[in-house]
Amino acid sequence: MTRASKLSRRERQIMDIIYRLGEASVKDVLENLEDPPSYSSVRALLRKLVDKGHVNHRECGLKYVYYPLVKRETASTSALSNLVKTFFSDSPALAVNSLLDMSSDSISDEELQQLEKLIKAKKKSNKKPTKRQKR
């Protein structure tokens, strides 16, 4: 796992803001953070995100504007993978079961049907012979 995939809670919140806005200055981040820390703390967190390879910045007048380097889908897949490894013994089935238990009242029949389709598609793709199996 790369350093880039391990983000603190605040770093994840800042990344969410940058993804949502497309790019953001320290002031933009402060205005969009719930219970924001100090200006210098946000600057330090953004510097860490640069060091980890998640964002970069450009000068815009007297301020830096930060933009994402990692696609949101890539970051979310990495974060989810880390979550499954950490809390569910690297078992997607245990993670899905926990999600279903958490939202048993709020998951719609349409969402359950969508999940069934995704599972069927995954089963189908797992059955396709790989190059090794063809030998």
Model pLDDT, residue 3:
47
* Residue 104 forms part of a structural domain: yes
* Residue 42 forms part of a structural domain: yes
* Residue 83 forms part of a structural domain: no
* Residue 116 forms part of a structural domain: yes
pLDDT top residue among 100 and 110: 110
Q: Where are the beta strands (DSSP E) in 13-117?
A: 55-60, 63-68
Number of structural domains found in the chain: 2
pLDDT top residue among 91 and 6: 91
What CATH number did the domain enclosing 32 receive? 1.10.10.10
Model pLDDT, residue 97:
85
Q: Are residues 49 and 104 in the same domain?
A: no
Dump pLDDT digits (tens) for 29-77.
999 999 999 999 999 999 999 999 999 999 999 999 999 998 888 878 8
Q: Are residues 7 and 59 in the same domain?
A: yes
Range of the domain at 28: 3-68
Q: Are residues 95 and 58 in the same domain?
A: no
- Please enumerate in sequence order all residues whose Cβ is within 8 A of that of 12, keeping only pairs 6 or more positions apart, or say none: 79
Give me 66's structure tokens: 């930060």
* Residue 134 forms part of a structural domain: no
Q: Are residues 7 and 51 in the same domain?
A: yes
Model pLDDT, residue 5:
55
**66 forms bridges with which residues in the sheet?**
24, 57
Model pLDDT, residue 126:
86
| Cβ-contact 74, 5 below 8 angstroms | no
φ and ψ at 59, to 5 degrees? -80, 135
* Residue 95 forms part of a structural domain: yes
100-110: average pLDDT: 77
Model pLDDT, residue 16:
93
Dump pLDDT digits (tens) for 3-41.
445 788 899 999 999 999 999 999 999 999 999 999 999
* Residue 41 forms part of a structural domain: yes
Q: What is the pTM of this model?
A: 0.66
pLDDT top residue among 132 and 1: 132
